[in-house]
Structure 1
Amino acid sequence: MIARTIVDNIKNEFFQSKAIIILGARQVGKSTLLKSIFINESRVIWLDAENPDVSLIFENATATRLKSFFGKNKFVVIDEAQKIENIGSKLKLITDYIPEIQVIATGSSAFELRNKLNEPLTGRKFEHKLFPLSFKEMKNEIGLLEEIRMLPQRLVFGYYPEVVTTQNNPEKILRLLSDSYLYKDILLFNSIRKPEKMQELLKALAWQIGSEVNYHELGKLIGLKSETVEEYIHLLEQSFVIYRLNSYHTNQRSEIKKGKKIYFTDLGIRNAVINDFSAFETRNDKRNLFENFIVNEFIKDNEYQEKFDKFYFWRTNEQQEVDLVIEKNGQLQTIEIKWNAKTKAKLPLSFRNKYPNSDFKVVNSENFWEFYD
């Protein structure tokens, strides 16, 4: 079982009169993570909310009834908690009236679960995101040199746990993940009237990783209104398939203010969407894949280390650009991402003039691991 970085964060939050919420895409290892935490703990109730019988447990629930059901157990784990009606109120009931129970809920749809949790659980929850495996987690598992050697494979097949731990046929696993799970939660929303358009949109986004996207142009390409494109992208983001970086600006006239870039949370899923698992060495999208990988790893590390950094890109009307801008406590770190270590890079003069105290680094295929030590 591959050790997950987030384990200690979760353990340190036990029994503080708060529910613990773990969000992440299907099959990223939420259940496996919790089983590793409770491997030596027998006083745990495991509830799968996709089982209709579990919903009945919480129907018309009172603190007395739930306390009787939980018995002498100390922990209650509710998987896919968004499936339970009024789950936020049920979790509030447990945290307020049964403090001897630590409840942990997982969900694969941030949009649906957060809508049900936010108001009832205001101030009563800790929330975490779980991503596919990270470079750092695999480095700790198999060693730095071996994980560096595996980089070309990771850029094609990604970091989903089943893909990483299974030696045979990663393409089949990723196609199954993509076809069976990718749209499962999203397509349950009534607003998705044309699921085939969602798939077309996702494919268009997959071809544009690392590039700015324009909702109007995407809409024209696939036959949707720009407002619908934005809505679909939001749902894909809330289901942990993709995420957006906004453009950094401080109202300087020449800076792009409404730009957005789209990245995929996992590159294996991205390559499944476009049906291209060709060897990394032969690909024309090396730089795009490497850029997506680097941004992913910064975001994973930020989440697991609870740094609360904010991530942007930067561009001017004159096409001067910075790949990644990281903001923390008013300080800026700028990152230029180059697959080829021999490619020269420097911070645009206009950026340095506007933000003279910013730090500048170049991340490439020969030094990237230093940033995730």
Structure 2
Amino acid sequence: MSIQRELIETLQLNLIKHKVILLFGARQTGKTTLLKKLLTSDDDVLWLNGDESDVRLMLQNQTSAGLRAFIGAKKTVIIDEAQRIEDIGLTIKLIHDNYPEIKIIATGSSAFELKNKTNEPLTGRKLEFKLFQFSTKELVNHHGLLNENRLLQHRMIFGYYPDIVNNLGDETELLKNLADSYLFKDILMLDGIKKPEKLIKLLQALAFQVGSQVSYNEIGTLVGLDSKTIEKYVDLLEQSFVIFKLNSFSRNLRNELKFSRKIYFYDNGIRNAVINNFSPLAIRQDTGMLWENYLVSERMKRNHYDKNYCNSFFWRTKAQQEVDYLEEKNGKLFAYEFKWNSKKNAKITKTFTSNYPEAEINIITPENYLDFVL
């Protein structure tokens, strides 16, 4: 099933610029598939995979003349998983500076590693883009709003990885395999991961705290690591597109939490695979968590692809009054409360509305969520 990706038009427009394109995103989100649609002439494209040892050797310690001979007459070079190649930033710089007619696209499933290896050599020479799992908008565009709306509960459990979306009926097995090969193998190879069993416990702890204030000290006690190590692991997981942070909002009111954070998973399916729970919503105790994670992650995709530049937060006081999600754009505040059960009376706490009377208030339920994520 061929589903049009939103990012393809952006890449088409930027491919003609004299810049190296860096495409970031988790493994299995469709980076290679997207690029094969973008570049249809195999005769003009040299495809390289940084996971292959001979490719890594060929691209290390090369001269510009050696690189020219290796590339031959190809007009475009694509390097998948480029972060696995030593000194890849310098190699790309040599190609770009000596052979400006050659287009270069490098992909990476670890922003931490690839940025570290390319930031200095490619200063002023690169454009960066992110590809996420499928978005609600991409699937609505593919098979219609009605069909996608009917699959809402399914998406909240199994998520939006392309392989999961394209193989109805095999979601549980595929997600377990994906989590095992991606989370528990690839990420454990990252620099600084010295205790893999602790990383797994950390992911499970974060999965059970979606939508809640996260304390590195408390999680460290639970997992058996100090808070500095927890912070480092969280940063690595974020750079690998497994989780992302949302910080607390404060205008220095005395009772507001000022240095707190919530942590979400980029994909609900991976979150559920971490805790091995694919039960239907009707018998789950964490439906509210799944609803909030789904909405925040889909909103993040929406804002990124639409270039809706805003600051995102949550709000909470020491007395545990809270607003699930805030956006600040052009000096204006937008407050959102997420409710799965739309029959229950929902409203934003008066403490917030009295202190921020100018904020626009929104309650997001299954009846109106499409306006929030499309």
The amino acid that maps onto 1:33 is L
Q: Which residue of 2 aligns with 1:114?
A: 115
**Alpha-carbon distance in 2 for matches of 1:102, 1:127:** 14
Q: Which residue of 1 aligns with 2:82?
A: 81
CA contact (8 A) 1:210 1:262 kept: yes
**Alpha-carbon distance in 2 for matches of 1:88, 1:354:** 49
Q: Per-residue displacement from partner, 1:211-240 (whole Å, max 9, x unpaired)?
A: 111111111112111111111111111111
The amino acid that maps onto 1:94 is I
Q: Which residue of 1 aligns with 2:127?
A: 126
Per the normalisation by structure 2, the TM-score is: 0.96
Q: Which residue of 1 aligns with 2:293?
A: 292
The amino acid that maps onto 1:247 is S
CA contact (8 A) 1:15 1:99 kept: no
Q: Which residue of 1 aligns with 2:50?
A: 49
CA shift in 2, pair 1:40/1:368, >3 Å:
farther
**Alpha-carbon distance in 2 for matches of 1:190, 1:40:** 37
**Alpha-carbon distance in 1 for matches of 2:139, 2:65:** 45
Q: Which residue of 2 aligns with 1:148?
A: 149
* Per-residue deviation, 1:362: 1.3
Q: Which residue of 2 aligns with 1:161?
A: 162
Q: Which residue of 2 aligns with 1:307?
A: 308
Helix, strand or coil: the match of 1:89?
Answer: helix
Q: Which residue of 2 aligns with 1:371?
A: 372
**Alpha-carbon distance in 2 for matches of 1:126, 1:330:** 28
CA contact (8 A) 1:109 1:185 kept: no
Q: Which segment is superposed worse, 146-155 or 16-25? A: 16-25
* Per-residue deviation, 1:109: 0.9
The answer as to 2:351 corresponding to 1:330 is no
Alignment of 1:216-365 (within 5 A): 216-365=217-366
Q: Per-residue displacement from partner, 1:127-162 (whole Å, max 9, x unpaired)?
A: 111111111111111110000000111111111111
**Alpha-carbon distance in 2 for matches of 1:13, 1:328:** 26
**Alpha-carbon distance in 2 for matches of 1:326, 1:184:** 35
Helix, strand or coil: the match of 1:182?
Answer: helix
Q: Which residue of 1 aligns with 2:139?
A: 138
**Alpha-carbon distance in 2 for matches of 1:319, 1:13:** 46
* Per-residue deviation, 1:103: 0.5
CA contact (8 A) 1:15 1:101 kept: no
**Alpha-carbon distance in 2 for matches of 1:94, 1:354:** 56
- Number of matched pairs: 373
Helix, strand or coil: the match of 1:319?
Answer: coil
**Alpha-carbon distance in 2 for matches of 1:352, 1:279:** 36
CA contact (8 A) 2:214 2:262 kept: yes
Helix, strand or coil: the match of 2:79?
Answer: strand
Helix, strand or coil: the match of 2:185?
Answer: coil
Q: Per-residue displacement from partner, 1:70-94 (whole Å, max 9, x unpaired)?
A: 2332211100000111111122222
Calculate percent identity across the aligned residue pairs.
50
**Alpha-carbon distance in 2 for matches of 1:345, 1:368:** 15
Q: Per-residue displacement from partner, 1:186-222 (whole Å, max 9, x unpaired)?
A: 2123522211011011111111111111111111112
Q: Which segment is superposed worse, 262-271 or 50-59? A: 50-59
RMSD: 1.5
CA contact (8 A) 1:185 1:239 kept: no
The amino acid that maps onto 2:182 is Y
* Per-residue deviation, 1:41: 5.8
Q: Which residue of 2 aligns with 1:177?
A: 178
CA contact (8 A) 2:295 2:373 kept: no
* Per-residue deviation, 1:174: 0.4
Alignment of 1:63-82 (within 5 A): 63-82=64-83
* Per-residue deviation, 1:184: 2.6
**Alpha-carbon distance in 2 for matches of 1:347, 1:167:** 38
**Alpha-carbon distance in 2 for matches of 1:337, 1:361:** 9
Helix, strand or coil: the match of 2:279?
Answer: coil
Q: Per-residue displacement from partner, 1:273-309 (whole Å, max 9, x unpaired)?
A: 1111111222111111011000011100111122222
The amino acid that maps onto 1:243 is F
Q: Per-residue displacement from partner, 1:25-62 (whole Å, max 9, x unpaired)?
A: 11111111111112356411100011112123222323
CA contact (8 A) 1:15 1:100 kept: no
The amino acid that maps onto 1:139 is V
* Per-residue deviation, 1:180: 1.2
Q: Which residue of 2 aligns with 1:32?
A: 33
The amino acid that maps onto 1:119 is E
Per the normalisation by structure 1, the TM-score is: 0.96
Q: Could you list the runs of 4 or more consecutive aligned residues of structure 1 that deviate by over 3 angstroms after TM superposition?
A: none
**Alpha-carbon distance in 1 for matches of 2:66, 2:196:** 41
**Alpha-carbon distance in 2 for matches of 1:62, 1:291:** 51
Q: Which segment is superposed worse, 148-157 or 6-15? A: 6-15
**Alpha-carbon distance in 2 for matches of 1:59, 1:189:** 20
